[in-house]
């Protein structure tokens, strides 16, 4: 309801604001819920300036950290993210001072609490599990499955006892509680034993050779015995037995370190010993015979004692990087990085240093000659190229409203901002006593915006915090008119909170909410008092282009128009000539004329046909051309409607046109009266003669007096001969009859056209 105050009702009552004097937030009785000051008044905005510790549009909420009816109590800070304490700690708020204490079985300062078993495995052996048992949470150490021991000092694997039952040439592996035996490099399985590969293939070696196996594939290698030279497979011979090993006939041939050494005895004279087989020197060495003794020196670029001369690549890899291969040719060293290493050979960089070698971000990369080896970090699972955190699967066991992370190889759960709990269980504010919402309201929490909302049930309305009242707008728009929107305003009567309907006109309507009108045509058609005039206007416009254009203009809503609507349309000059174009247009005035006693007393308006309409204000109200205005200032979106007691009289209509094509209404009142008297007298004489003839003829024939019946049933034709009743109509409940016999008068043909 709109509330005005002041001597002239020009200002809003306290607790109301704006042009329409709407209620302040929280209600007019207690603006701003009694916890703030409302900017009210006609120029007010309805904004609430809340008291200390209060917030919200209507000051109906406590600020963050406060609670209670007066918002004076501090909220228990432990309810917000456990007060900053660790998830395994209890929080205590004593007058704003927070104390964090680790839960039983956990140790730390409260900000960080660790399970006793999380600290160096609780003192248990590395191959034992630590757990707490008993009322005192005592540590219990139990060896892992497959291990045996006291769990504290030792947990022996089966492989630690008699090699797990494996052969002495086998390695024992204990994994997942099972023991597996694998023969060492160079040995092959034979039943439960591991024998050398030479056990099967020694016959393939030369008789003067020994067999041994090497490498991961247990490859057999045959080596000639000392004093023999050869490949070990096909031949192993003593070179000194053939041509004295290439030595001079007077020299002694000896095999040393796999090489022939020629030595001339002291008692004999030998030829140049270097002539034969380079004197026993290495092929890459220079031989010199000095007094019957050979001296060997490696050629430039080679290194050794002369009997063995190595290339630079055989010494410190020729200066190449240890992850590079070295080759020597043309007295030049060439270095090339091995597979999975990048560089110039002197400096080789692992591919692991580039995008982690293709391994997953949560994996370690190791470059080997056989390729890249990717291994997931502890706590992660996968092949190294794809590593999955425990947090990916069922959020690591954390609550759906908690964040899972890996800390020190363990899962850590922390509730998301706005949620409370240990991380394994997280609760929204709505789950704790429905937060501040009423019991019947539904509380919903928006984690992203860190806000909650209280919503009343579908049949109720309100803020859900302080009240939920019946939503009367759900039934027939709350009684508001079709052009109004309905809302429920709060009423507070002591401890009882109720809601009342508040109607507000929509954008395309005007009024105070109780009445909401559209444009002029829509309003004329809707009001009972003006429906008959509306139908007359539409009927007449179907035969008059001038009226049709006027109706079309009213439909577009361009510009403002004022219309004086006769309440009793069948009276006065509307009985015959009222439906002419001029008579109807005489009731329309350009512009929106709002009747006001100070502005429109003894003022003349000009109708659409140019006729002057005099407006006067008397004790009884407004009069237009002496005809009383029954109801004034009915608003429409494109003008104003005034309901008058009877139709306006047309002045004498001349045949001259006014500028713009309008009919001129200028004429002498004396001439008009004389013409009217003449017409009336002539009509009475003609009518009297017709009545006498009619009565005489019908009386002789014995017929019923049809004129009498016509006067009873169709008396509207004679209405203009009767006096207007002085009884005032009840505008609030009156309805104008829709059925009336009203002839159309065509001003151009000067004929009466019956409907």
- Range 178-192 average pLDDT: 82
Q: Residue 738: pLDDT above 50?
A: no
pLDDT-wise least confident of 87-91, 633-637, 642-646, 726-730: 726-730
- Residue found by looking up tokens 């001969």 in the block: 721
Contacts of 2 (CB under 8 A, 6+ apart): 16, 20, 21, 22, 512, 513
Q: Residue 634: pLDDT above 90?
A: yes
Give CA 635 to chain center in angstroms.
45
The angle subtended at Cα 150 by Cα 149 and Cα 156, nearest 5°, is 20
Q: Residue 353: pLDDT above 60?
A: yes
| Beta pairing partners, 5 | 11
pLDDT-based confidence at residue 395 (cuts at 50, 70, 90): confident
| Domain spanning 238-310, CATH architecture | Ribbon (2.10)
Q: What's the pLDDT tens digit per position in 210-244?
A: 887 776 666 778 888 888 888 787 888 888 887 78
% of the chain with per-residue pLDDT over 70:
80
Q: What does the pLDDT read at residue 521?
A: 93
Q: What does the pLDDT read at residue 519?
A: 92
Reported as half-sphere exposure (CB side, CA atoms, 13 A), residue 687 has a value of 8
Integer Cα distance of 399 and 426 in angstroms: 6
Q: Residue 262: pLDDT above 80?
A: no
pLDDT-wise least confident of 37-41, 158-162, 323-327: 158-162
Q: What does the pLDDT read at residue 745?
A: 32
For the chain, give every domain's residue range: 238-310, 528-667
E-assigned strand segments in 512-609: 516-517, 561-566, 588-590, 603-606
For 408, the enclosing helix (H) or strand (E) is none
Q: What's the pLDDT tens digit per position in 149-179?
A: 888 888 888 888 888 889 888 999 988 778 8
What global pTM score does this model have? 0.35
- Radius of gyration of the CA atoms of the chain, in A: 59
Q: Which two structure tokens, joined as six digits, stand for 368?
A: 């080997």
Q: What does the pLDDT read at residue 323?
A: 84
Q: What does the pLDDT read at residue 455?
A: 92
E-assigned strand segments in 506-636: 510-511, 516-517, 561-566, 588-590, 603-606, 612-618, 621-624, 627-636
Decide: 151 and 124 in contact? Cβ < 8 Å: yes
Q: Residue 749: pLDDT above 70?
A: no
Residue that wins the pLDDT comparison between 704 and 107: 107
- Range 368-392 average pLDDT: 83
List C-alpha distances in Å: 579 to 78, 151, 547.
84, 115, 11
Residue that wins the pLDDT comparison between 2 and 54: 54
- Range 95-123 average pLDDT: 81
CATH topology of domain 528-667: FAS1 domain (2.30.180)
Integer Cα distance of 577 and 673 in angstroms: 16
**Which of 178-187, 289-298, 453-462 holds the top average pLDDT?**
453-462
Q: What does the pLDDT read at residue 269?
A: 60
For 103, the enclosing helix (H) or strand (E) is none
Q: Residue 473: pLDDT above 50?
A: yes
- Range 316-338 average pLDDT: 87
Q: What does the pLDDT read at residue 703?
A: 38
Q: What does the pLDDT read at residue 588?
A: 94
pLDDT-wise least confident of 406-415, 486-495, 651-660: 651-660
Q: C-alpha dihedral over 170, 175, 179, 185, to 10 degrees?
A: -10
Q: What does the pLDDT read at residue 396?
A: 79
Q: What does the pLDDT read at residue 752?
A: 28
The dihedrals phi and psi of 552, each to the nearest 5 degrees, come to -60, -40
Nearest Cα residue to 467 out of 434, 501, 441: 441
By residue count, the chain amounts to 755
Q: What's the pLDDT tens digit per position in 516-529?
A: 999 999 999 988 88
Q: What does the pLDDT read at residue 683?
A: 73
pLDDT-based confidence at residue 696 (cuts at 50, 70, 90): low
pLDDT-based confidence at residue 97 (cuts at 50, 70, 90): confident
Integer Cα distance of 23 and 15 in angstroms: 6
pLDDT-based confidence at residue 8 (cuts at 50, 70, 90): very low
pLDDT-based confidence at residue 497 (cuts at 50, 70, 90): low
Helix, strand, coil content of the chain in percent (nearest 5): 20, 35, 45
Integer Cα distance of 223 and 198 in angstroms: 12
pLDDT-wise least confident of 266-275, 400-409, 606-615: 266-275
Q: What does the pLDDT read at residue 185?
A: 77
pLDDT-based confidence at residue 644 (cuts at 50, 70, 90): very high
Q: Residue 661: pLDDT above 60?
A: no
Q: Residue 388: pLDDT above 70?
A: yes
Q: What does the pLDDT read at residue 467?
A: 81
Q: Residue 25: pLDDT above 60?
A: yes
**pLDDT, averaged across the chain:** 78
For 234, left (φ over 0), alpha (ψ -120 to 50), or beta?
alpha
- Range 74-79 average pLDDT: 78
Residue that wins the pLDDT comparison between 752 and 366: 366
Q: What does the pLDDT read at residue 523?
A: 92
């Amino acid at each position: 309801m709109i509330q005005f105050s002041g001597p002239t009702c020009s200002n809003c009552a306290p607790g109301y604001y704006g042009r329409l004097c709407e209620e302040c937030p929280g209600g007019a009785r207690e603006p701003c819920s009694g916890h703030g000051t409302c900017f009210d008044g006609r120029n007010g905005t309805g904004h609430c300036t809340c008291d200390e510790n209060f917030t919200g549009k209507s000051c109906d909420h406590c600020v963050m950290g406060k609670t209670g009816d007066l918002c004076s109590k501090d909220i228990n800070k432990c309810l917000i993210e456990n007060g900053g304490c660790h998830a395994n700690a209890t929080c205590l708020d004593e007058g704003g001072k927070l104390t964090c204490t680790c839960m039983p079985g956990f140790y730390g300062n409260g900000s960080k609490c660790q399970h006793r078993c999380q600290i160096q495995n609780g003192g248990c052996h590395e191959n034992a599990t630590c757990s707490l048992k008993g009322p005192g949470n005592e540590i219990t150490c139990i060896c892992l499955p497959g291990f045996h021991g006291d769990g504290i000092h030792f947990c022996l694997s089966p492989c630690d006892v008699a090699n797990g039952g494996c052969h002495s040439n086998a390695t024992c592996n204990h994994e997942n509680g099972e023991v597996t035996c694998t023969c060492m490099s160079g040995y092959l399985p034979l039943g439960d034993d591991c024998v050398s590969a030479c056990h099967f293939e020694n016959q393939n070696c030369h008789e003067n050779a020994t067999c041994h196996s090497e490498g991961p594939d247990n490859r057999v290698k045959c080596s000639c015995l000392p004093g023999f030279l050869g490949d070990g497979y096909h031949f192993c011979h003593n070179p000194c037995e053939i041509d004295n090993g290439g030595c001079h006939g007077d020299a002694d041939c000896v095999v040393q370190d796999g090489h022939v050494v020629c030595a001339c005895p002291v008692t004999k004279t030998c030829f140049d010993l270097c002539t034969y087989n380079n004197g026993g020197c290495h092929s890459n060495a220079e031989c010199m015979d000095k007094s019957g003794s050979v001296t060997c020196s490696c050629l430039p670029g080679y290194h050794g004692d002369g009997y063995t001369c190595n290339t630079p690549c055989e010494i410190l890899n020729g200066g190449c990087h240890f992850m590079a291969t070295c080759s020597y040719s043309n007295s030049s060293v060439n270095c090339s990085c091995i597979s999975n290493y990048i560089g110039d050979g002197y400096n080789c960089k692992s591919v692991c240093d580039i995008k982690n070698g293709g391994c997953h971000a949560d994996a370690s990369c190791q470059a080997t000659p056989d390729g890249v080896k990717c291994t997931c970090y502890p706590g992660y699972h996968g092949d190294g190229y794809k590593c999955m955190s425990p947090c990916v699967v069922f959020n690591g066991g954390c609550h759906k409203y908690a964040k899972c992370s890996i800390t020190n190889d363990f899962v850590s759960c922390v509730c998301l901002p706005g949620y409370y709990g240990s991380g394994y269980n997280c609760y929204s504010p709505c789950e704790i006593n429905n937060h501040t919402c009423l019991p019947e309201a539904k509380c919903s929490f928006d984690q992203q915006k860190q806000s909650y909302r209280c919503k009343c049930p579908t049949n109720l309305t309100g803020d859900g915090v302080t009240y939920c009242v019946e939503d009367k707008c759900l039934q027939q728009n709350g009684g508001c008119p079709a052009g109004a929107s309905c809302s429920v305003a709060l009423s507070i009567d002591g401890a009882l909170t109720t809601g009342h309907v508040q109607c507000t006109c929509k954008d395309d309507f005007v009024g105070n909410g109780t009445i909401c009108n559209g444009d002029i045509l829509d309003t004329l058609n809707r009001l009972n008092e003006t429906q008959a005039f509306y139908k007359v206007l539409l009927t007449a416009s179907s035969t008059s282009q001038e009226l049709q254009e006027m109706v079309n203009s009213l439909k577009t809503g361009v510009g403002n128009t004022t219309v004086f609507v006769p309440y009793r349309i069948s009276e006065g000059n509307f009985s015959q000539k009222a439906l002419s174009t001029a008579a109807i247009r005489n009731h329309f005035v350009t512009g929106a004329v709002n009747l006001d006693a100070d502005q429109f007393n003894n003022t003349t308006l000009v109708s659409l046909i140019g006729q002057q309409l005099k407006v006067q204000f008397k004790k009884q109200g407004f009069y237009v051309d002496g005809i009383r205005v029954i109801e004034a200032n009915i608003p429409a979106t494109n003008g104003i409607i005034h309901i008058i007691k009877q139709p306006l009289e047309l002045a004498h209509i001349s045949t001259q046109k006014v500028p713009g094509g309008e009919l001129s209404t200028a004429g002498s009142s004396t001439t008009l009266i004389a013409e009217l008297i003449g017409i009336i007298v002539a009509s009475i004489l003609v009518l009297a003669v017709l009545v006498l003839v009619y009565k005489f003829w019908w009386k002789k024939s014995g017929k019923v007096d049809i004129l009498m019946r016509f006067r009873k049933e169709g008396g509207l034709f004679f209405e203009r001969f009767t006096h207007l009743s002085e009884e005032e109509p009840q505008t609030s409940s009156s309805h104008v009859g829709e059925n009336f016999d009203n002839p159309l008068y065509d001003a151009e043909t000067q004929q009466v056209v019956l409907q």
